[in-house]
Amino acid sequence: MKFNEKISIIVPAYNCQKYIRQCIDSLIDQTYENIEIIVVDDGSTDQTLEILKSYNDKIKLIAQENSGVSVARNRGLKAATGKYCMFVDSDDWIDLDMISQMIQHVQEKVIVRCGMILEYPNKKEIRNRVQKNTLLTLKQVQDLFVHTYDLSGPVCQLLKREELKNLFQEDISYGEDFLFNYKNYGENEVLLLKDNYYHYRMLENSITNGLDFNKIMKVCEDILNVYPVLLQKHSTQDVYYRVVKEMNKGLVRVFKSDILTKTERNKVIESFWDDKRLDVCLKNLKYSEILKNKTIDMFLMVFMKLRWKIAYEKCGKFIYSFVYKIASRS
């Protein structure tokens, strides 16, 4: 069966002069011809915008003041005219046959996702949970949202544009892609492809590197605002576990990054230790639920639940850095 539906490819771009050509070239050279490439420059201060202008009419270029990746993606979505759409980050690239391969699998009430290759400076790592094409049931899809990050990212997927009832939430900086997918997947099943068409460039910076104290506080606040949405459809124990796990993950990154002073680090702890949302999760999360997961997270979550506040303040940086290093090797 031959497909010729228009596909809109949306690329948010910010200060990516080093990588933007590889990204855009991989889109222009797609073997599938009926595409539109929408690039939203989010107020770049390097040569990114000038490079994008050199592509002339090969791309649809939108320039905006720096407003964040969610605003950029939303502007791209509003400008899209394709029946289907997909997102590509400006420092990544895709195989030349990605769209022509994925479009063959589209069907009603099914979202198609492929695997990705993590591109480190000196190695590659495949990120794909299936070895053969696998259609997930609605229950399996919901379970993955609760227990994994497999369906959280906006890339690697082909979405029917008219079915996207929710835009990216623009007032949060952590978990906005999770919310976008969770709210838009609705009653759709998900087809996971065994093939890996997307190349995700692993850069040095993370969500916490280079952020000041106020932005780090905002990340932690976003975690506590985003994940309780799962309570609408899932058992409380599952959600309690996910919220505590996400908070742990955020704090691990904070402690590992070495960007806070000791005073600021303690302020982060004090601000969230008595937060009612986290408090509800910590008090009600059962130890038996934590102990089901035999990972390094288990020890950190037990540590949080026991609420050893003084030890946490005095030894938190050492403990988290030490455990994180172990976790990163596992």
Q: What per-residue confidence (pLDDT) applies to 276?
A: 79
pLDDT digits (tens, 9 = 90+) for 77-134: 999 999 999 999 999 999 999 999 999 999 889 999 999 999 999 999 999 999 999 9
- pLDDT (0 to 100) of residue 208: 42
Report, as an integer, the average pLDDT of 184-205: 91
With respect to residue 1, please indicate whether it lies within any of the assigned structural domains. no
Residue where the block lists tokens 């099914």: 110
Same domain, 295 and 195: no
% of residues, the chain, pLDDT over 90? 54
Q: Which residues pair with 12 in a beta bridge?
A: 40
Domain end call among 141, 170, 201: 201
Check whether residue 140 and residue 60 sit in a common domain. yes
Query: What's the structural domain count of the chain?
Result: 2
Per-residue pLDDT tens digits for 221-273: 888 888 878 877 787 888 888 888 888 777 766 666 667 777 787 777 777 76
Residue 86 CA, chain-centre distance (Å), reads 14
Residues 48 and 159 in one domain: yes
Return d(Cα 182, Cα 142) in angstroms, integer: 8
pLDDT score of 81: 97
Range of the domain at 162: 7-201
* pTM > 0.75: yes
Residue 320 scores a pLDDT above 90: no
- pLDDT at 148 (0 to 100): 85
Separation CA 8–CA 96 (nearest Å): 15
Average confidence (pLDDT) over 211-218: 74
Residue 71 in tokens:
């605003």
The span from the CA of 205 to the CA of 119, in Å, is: 14
Residue with token string 């497909």: 3
The answer to whether residue 207 is domain-embedded is: no
**Across all residues in the chain, what is the average pLDDT?**
85
Domain shared by 227 and 188, yes or no: no
Among the candidates 140, 172, 201, a domain finishes at 201
Q: Residue 59 has which token pair?
A: 């791309």
**For residue 32, is it within any domain?**
yes
Q: What is the pLDDT of residues 274-287, one digit of tens each?
A: 677 888 888 888 88
Q: Which two tokens stand for residue 137?
A: 């049931």
Whether 93 and 189 share a structural domain: yes
Of 301, 281, 146, nearest in space to 224 by CA: 281
Q: Are 170 and 74 within 8 A, CB to CB?
A: yes
Q: Tell me, yes or no, whether 314 lies in a domain.
A: yes
**Per-residue pLDDT band at 330 (split at 50, 70, 90):** very low
Question: What are the tens digits of pLDDT across the range 201-214?
Answer: 998 654 444 556 77
Pick from 93, 89, 82: nearest CA to 42 = 89
Residue 328 — very low, low, confident or very high, per pLDDT cuts 50/70/90?
very low
